[in-house]
Amino acid sequence: MDISQIDPHTISKLNAREFQAVVSQVLSVHENERRDNALLYYEPVSNEARKIHLSEKQTIGVGGGNGSAKTESCLVDMIISCTGVMPYSLRFDEELWEKAKNPAPRGRPLGVPLDPIALAPDNFPDFHKKFRGPINCRVVCESLTNVLHQVILPKLQWWQWTGIDQPGGKRGHYGWVPHDCLIGGSWDKSWSEKLRTLRILCRDPNDNTKVLGESRIQFMSHDQDSTDFASGDYHIVLHDEPPKHAIWVENQARTMRVRGRMFLAMTWPDDPAIAVDWLFDKVYEPAMRAGGNPNVDWFNLYTTDNPNIDQEAVALQVSEWDDETAKVRIYGQPIRFSNRVHELFTDQDQTWCFSCGRSVVTVEGKCATCQSGTLAPFNHVADFEPDPNWPSVWLLDPHPRKPHMYSWWQIDPKDDLWCVADGECDGDPTDVANDVFDLESRLGLAVRFRYIDPNMGRSPASTKRGITWQDEFEAAGLRCDLPDDSAIGRKRIDEYLRPDKHTLAPRMHWHRQRCAASITQMKRYVWDDHKKALEKSQKQLPKDKNDDYPTLAKYLLNTNPEFSFLVHGPQVFRRMGGSRENRR
């Protein structure tokens, strides 16, 4: 029976066998449609993944755990732009939205309740604004042999099934390039192995029967030289895992002339020897920092949110991993700097579990590890004003070949520490003194003690015999004492970074704007580790880089700063029983 000729009147006359045959044909047609046009039936794996398609930023970073669909989500966004085919799930339906805002009167069947917030225009991409017709794209993967043919291309081939269910099941999908968007409907005609280029038809979004031209996707790999990337203009460049910085910069140049977009899908490496500091500085931090780069977005996807993988197997694996591994492998958190000297320091909102005694990921308001609800949000960076009634301490790290660096700390009545400002001066001690006194006047700081790096403070400041840096700064009006240089101060910093169970807040704080240099160094002050592959123990020595401001904080903690001592001076102990004469 030809199902295209069936109408409601015909259906009512079918017997049970005929009706079953019609249903089978309809299901078969639907299954073929899902296979040939999987892109139409695409569903983002989570609300966070949906945001990737809403973003119109020039640079988009997607961090995620293994199997979190980070690469999948970016590929889909690229294929939508290449083909002009918009998934049903990303199309705004004004009629449906109106029904959600104006539900049926009482007494009428409502069916499944409609969520007016979920159906609002803001939850759908402005596809016509992002669509540019036929475009050139580039995908940069880790390996042409192990990743391109084994992982990336099967995600695009319409007949290839990816998922844990049998082909056609709910948990999985077919390749994202629609069958009718291939040249002549043939993968072989569209794919060039020699050029590693895929040609696909770009259709009119308002009329998919109309072909606007051809989009092209070039595939390259991380192990190619950066000069291999130095040609062509591309509207979209997608990096699967972090490339070398030189490749990233070259691809920026390729997208620049056509106002193209850069995508990065990655799981953070847990080997500190892998150099991705540039990525943290150029992509992740500008997107996450308040008031950061308005042209950069960052999204974080969880493996536990992907319905197309076996979540029971994920839960089993998580139970066998340590917490730090689970953070990066499942929740995609950046532990690139897991070898930081002060690893608890953060300028992003995090959650502390007092039962676990560490920063944790939360699920439905509870610790994902121990299910405890004894949690507290914390962040060591904030906006605050100095208190003129609190005592201040100034610390100095002099340098003969680079700017002198210094910072101001206030101690509150609870003996908590507040870094109110930092600074640097590429001049002589007199220039430093002028800068220091000016800022202290503007902020109203009452400085009770000044300290200088004990190592540099005792070293010669010039060719004059016997003249030290300590002498030079004292002559300029900055009399400084020499603090203890022991490593105990670093351990005390770690104690102060932990949220206090009574106040539910950490004991050290940095001002967001005035301490930008200190914040940057705290996040990059790392141990001088061996490469992970060498499997050697930690050296227990920090790298001599980004250490200026963290070392000043160490000196401060070595002085054991207390509010009462700085305000009132040392306690005076009196002999019991009165004077000597009265005791005779």
Predicted pLDDT at 541? 80
CB 552 within 8 Å of CB 483: no
CB 423 within 8 Å of CB 448: no
183 pLDDT band, cuts 50/70/90, is very high
The phi and psi torsions of 381 (rounded to 5 degrees) equal: -115, 130
What's the mean pLDDT when you consider all of the chain? Answer: 87
Predicted pLDDT at 575? 62
CB 56 within 8 Å of CB 260: no
CA distance 362 to 351: 7
More confident residue, 571 or 387: 387
SS3 state at 95:
helix
Angle at 463 between CA 458 and CA 464, to 5 degrees: 75
Q: Which residues, 6 or more positions from 487, have their beta carbon under 8 angstroms from its beta carbon?
A: 554
Predicted pLDDT at 245? 93
| DSSP calls for 156-202 | T-TT-EEESSSTTSSSEEE-SS-GGGBGGG-HHHHEETTTTEEEEEE
Q: Where are the alpha helices (DSSP H) in 354-428?
A: none
- The per-residue pLDDT for range 61-93, each reduced to its tens digit, is 999 989 999 999 999 999 999 999 999 999 887
Domains and CATH numbers, the chain: 37-90+120-305 (3.40.50.300), 317-380 (no CATH), 391-568 (3.30.420.280)
More confident residue, 112 or 12: 12
Nearest residue to 461 (alpha-carbon basis) of 434, 428, 430: 428
531 pLDDT band, cuts 50/70/90, is low
More confident residue, 558 or 24: 558
Nearest residue to 36 (alpha-carbon basis) of 197, 198, 160, 152: 160
Is pLDDT at 540 greater than 90 in this prediction? no
CB 402 within 8 Å of CB 416: no
150 pLDDT band, cuts 50/70/90, is very high
Is pLDDT at 111 greater than 60 in this prediction? no
Amino acid at 323: D
136 pLDDT band, cuts 50/70/90, is very high
Name the residue with tokens 């308001």: 365
Q: Which of 87-96, 224-233, 453-462, 478-487 has the lowest mean pLDDT?
A: 87-96
- The per-residue pLDDT for range 487-521, each reduced to its tens digit, is 999 999 999 999 999 999 999 999 999 999 999 89
Predicted pLDDT at 573? 60
- The per-residue pLDDT for range 415-461, each reduced to its tens digit, is 999 999 999 999 999 999 999 999 999 999 999 999 999 999 999 88
More confident residue, 21 or 527: 527
Number of alpha carbons in the 13 Å side-chain half-sphere of residue 117: 1
SS3 state at 463:
coil
Is pLDDT at 291 greater than 70 in this prediction? no
Q: Which residues, 6 or more positions from 260, have their beta carbon under 8 angstroms from its beta carbon?
A: 58, 233, 234, 235, 236, 237, 254
CB 454 within 8 Å of CB 484: yes
CA distance 91 to 258: 26
Q: Which of 253-267, 286-300, 382-396 has the lowest mean pLDDT?
A: 286-300
Is pLDDT at 529 greater than 90 in this prediction? no
CA distance 55 to 467: 60
4 pLDDT band, cuts 50/70/90, is low
Determine the average pLDDT of the residues in 196-223: 95
Q: Which of 173-182, 205-214, 334-343, 397-406 has the lowest mean pLDDT?
A: 334-343
Predicted pLDDT at 410? 98
**How many residues are present in the chain?**
584
CA distance 335 to 202: 40
Write 284-287 long-range contacts (CB < 8 A, 24+).
Answer: 284/61, 284/63, 284/334, 287/59, 287/61
CA distance 557 to 416: 11
Predicted pLDDT at 497? 97
Nearest residue to 244 (alpha-carbon basis) of 261, 228, 260: 228
Is pLDDT at 359 greater than 60 in this prediction? yes
Predicted pLDDT at 263? 98
352 pLDDT band, cuts 50/70/90, is very high
SS3 state at 406:
strand
**What secondary structure letter does DSSP report for 206?**
T
Determine the average pLDDT of the residues in 391-412: 96
Predicted pLDDT at 110? 46
Is pLDDT at 272 greater than 60 in this prediction? no
Predicted pLDDT at 363? 75
Q: Angle of helix 488-497 relative to helix 548-558, nearest 10 degrees?
A: 90
Q: Which of 90-94, 155-159, 379-383, 404-408 has the lowest mean pLDDT?
A: 90-94
The rounded percent of the chain whose pLDDT value lies above 70 is 88
